[in-house]
Amino acid sequence: MPEKLSTQRLGDLGEEALVDRLIALLPPDPALLVGPGDDCAVVETEHGPWQLLKTDCLIEGVHFLPGSDPALVGRKAIHRAVSDIAAMGGEPRHALVTLAVSADRTLGEVEGWYCGMVAAATAAGCSIVGGETSRLPEKGALLSVAMTGLVAPEHCVLRSGASRGDIIAVTGRLGGSFESGRHLTFSPRLAEARWLVEHARPTAMMDLSDGLGSDLPRLARASGGGYRVDSTTIPCHPGIDVERAIGEGEDYELLATFSPATFATLPARWAAAFPDVPLTAIGEITEDTDEPLPRGWEHYRNE
């Protein structure tokens, strides 16, 4: 505990600086292979695959709007965590769900959330095994999912493995997620990530949740480098300009890096495996960043 409690407002600090301050308070754990700062924590086990740990939450008014289809809200709650486990090269296994809602919510809405979560978890090979419920003192809703997964050590991909000259690529198209409703209906790139770790071995990978403008700098910093992006190559959804594609977030695509030798043959092999999902090279990892991308989403600073 700091000797003097800070009075700095979180809106002035920003999410990233807040997380850095909180991480500094955590004691080391000898079983922890990868701690805070990646898509999941990675814990060593005595035998077999490593364990992945992830928690994520949905807040009404931030991640979904009042009146949204309850089943789609529940679907998103599970899929956000699955997306992070996929980005580590893993497979989801078990989930715990915490639900905090005000007393005026209807049973039908809450059951709708759970039906959506169960369907999404089952499709991803994951079981919901318990959780917690609590009452909010004011109107609103929060759904929090803690998820475990498994990953073979040779398939585990971190944010920190990219090298200078590696090709930066993204799956799918970016931008317009909230406007179009895709923030509720997206499917995590679980099969695509599994294929990549088995056939292309990304040097680094993460999911795009806060926007390319926030997430690519995080990957580059974790790898000790910078980046160069050709904005004309960024794949945008129809009607979405590059600035929105960079900054809006909620895309849940994969951002990955590959050695130039691997990427030379990757587009053709990828297209044969996933003809409906583009894989687009947008730049490369560099020593430094000469032209930073516009910042994407960051909690507290965007409020």
CATH number for the domain including 80?
Answer: 3.30.1330.10
Has residue 106 been placed in a domain? yes
- Do 166 and 121 lie in a common domain? no
Inside any domain, residue 212: yes
In a domain, 37, yes or no: yes
The chain-wide mean pLDDT, for the chain, equals 94
CA distances from 103 to 97, 161, 295 (A): 18, 47, 38
Q: Which of 107, 140, 155 is the last residue of a domain?
A: 155
Rounded to the nearest 5 degrees, what angle is found at the Cα of 279, between the Cα atoms of 275 and 284? Answer: 165
Please enumerate in sequence order all residues whose Cβ is within 8 A of that of 155, keeping only pairs 6 or more positions apart, or say none: 89, 90, 197, 198
Distance, in Å, from the CA atom of 297 to the CA atom of 214, rounded to the nearest integer, reads: 6
pLDDT tens for 62-89 read: 899 999 999 999 999 999 999 999 999 9
CATH number for the domain that contains residue 208: 3.90.650.10
The CA distance from 258 to 201, in Å, is 7
227 shares a domain with 144: no
Across 279-286, average pLDDT: 98
Confidence of residue 267 (pLDDT cuts 50, 70, 90): very high
Domain annotation covers residue 122:
yes
In a shared domain, residues 17 and 151: yes
Does any domain span residue 3? no
Domain boundary among the residues 155, 172, 201 is at 155
Q: For the chain, what percentages of helix, strand and coil (3-state, to nearest 5) are there?
A: 35, 25, 40
Q: How many domains does the chain have?
A: 2
| Same-domain check for residues 164 and 56 | no
CB 231 within 8 A of CB 242: yes
Express each pLDDT in 35-56 by its tens digit: 998 999 999 998 889 999 999 9
pLDDT digits (tens, 9 = 90+) for 124-177: 999 999 999 999 988 999 999 999 999 999 999 999 999 999 999 999 999 999
Q: Is the pLDDT of residue 205 over 90?
A: yes
Q: For residue 5, what pLDDT is reported?
A: 81
In this structure, the answer to whether residues 68 and 145 fall within a common structural domain is yes
| DSSP character at residue 174 | B
Q: Are residues 180 and 130 in the same domain?
A: no
Q: Which residue has the higher pLDDT, 300 or 263?
A: 263
Same domain flag for 92 and 223: no
Q: How much is the pLDDT for 297?
A: 52
Judge whether residue 298 has pLDDT over 70: no
Please give the structure tokens belonging to residue 235: 């794949």
If asked whether residues 151 and 228 sit together in one domain, one would say no
- pLDDT digits over 8-33, tens only? 888 888 887 888 888 888 888 888 99
What pLDDT was estimated at residue 31? 86
Q: Are 131 and 171 in a shared domain? A: no
pTM for this entry: 0.92
Q: What DSSP string runs through 1-32?
A: --SS-----HHHH-HHHHHHHHHTTPPP-TTE
Residues 231 and 108 in one domain: no
Residue 116, pLDDT > 70, answer: yes
Q: In terms of domains, do 14 and 135 share one?
A: yes
pLDDT class for 286, splitting at 50, 70, 90?
Answer: very high
Residue 18 has a pLDDT of: 85
What's the whole-number mean pLDDT along residues 273-294? Answer: 96
Judge if 211 and 263 occupy the same domain. Answer: yes
Domain hosting 29: range is 10-155
